[in-house]
Structure 1
Amino acid sequence: MFIGANVTVILAPHCASVPRDGWAGEQDDRPLSSAGHEQARALAEAVGTHIDAICTSPALRCRQTVEPLAARAGLELIELPELREASGFDQPAEWVNGVFAPMGEAIAGAWIAGQAWGALARVVEAARTTVACSHGDVIPLLLAALTGAYRVPVPPLVERGGWYTLRFAGSALTVTAHTGGAANQ
């Protein structure tokens, strides 16, 4: 889905979180670590207030990543289930099993990227600058799909606390990777 107007999407992986190992609760309830909270404050400072919408995965660590930015910009968070962590590459089930099993993860990754981009595109229609926070298994898929569609180089990976700026101008896309301003622990 190409974006025709001048639109900016700031795509942020959630900041550093409490380690998955040893966490006994639901993954959606896993919070940011103290370093992650510092990174989230630095992200809010770096991005500023010239934004129109903030989208996030429903996971607590994603919401906590963009809450300082939302408070600073005076915006409500828009939760998009399509930005949720993939938790395995097993969808759509009829396309990742049987004869499709050898390429199942690739098909599932394409499906996940399509879900995420479709959800973001609906928000972007009404906003010139949108911030979106998601997970380390969704963002690379989304970036790969978009850079492939627009025929631009895949950006370098960013550490926790970093983000990507995607600028859409008609049929052109530029992607800039930003390192975070706070400790990447």
Structure 2
Amino acid sequence: MEALLTSTFTVAIAEIGDKTQLLALLLAARFRNKSAIVLGILLATLINHFVAAWVGQFAVSWLDPQWASYAVAGSFFAIALWVLIPDKIDEDDNSFYKLGAFMATFILFFIAEMGDKTQIATVVLAAKYDALTMVVIGTTLGMLIANVPVVLLGHFSADKLPMKIIHRSCAALFAILGVVTLWYGM
């Protein structure tokens, strides 16, 4: 249960202001079919985070438990620093929009998540917890918690949120996870 709750909370907070959240805002402005956008986000995140979690568990199985603990803690500290750098949406490719709301969302979200901080967090969380399914469900729920309101309330701008406070809180959360991992080991 700890893996599920930590994964959900961590990714939901890390996703605020992330490029995929900005992408969700763009897609909501572009398409009327909000349920297709949400379904595209869900499926892209499930697949992407399952692969990421599997990689995390596979990688940690090759390391000595002591070194794995250091690697996971170091990764949490790195993500804490990374979160302090705000994302900006890349130039969007209009050719994906011709595919419709679901396919455009699925493809764009899957690509945008590659190497994203929430994907890396999924790798690290799966390495920390020996609960692949709970981590994938948790990180996917976190993505949905952060993105579904943006899709449904697309007119609400991220400019109105206290982004510095959110990014600093998220960085602190990842730093705390790093300290806890070092303190208690894996």
Q: TM-score, normalised by structure 1?
A: 0.28
Q: Which has a greater percent of strand?
A: 1
TM-score (norm 2): 0.28
Please identify which structure carries the higher helix content.
2
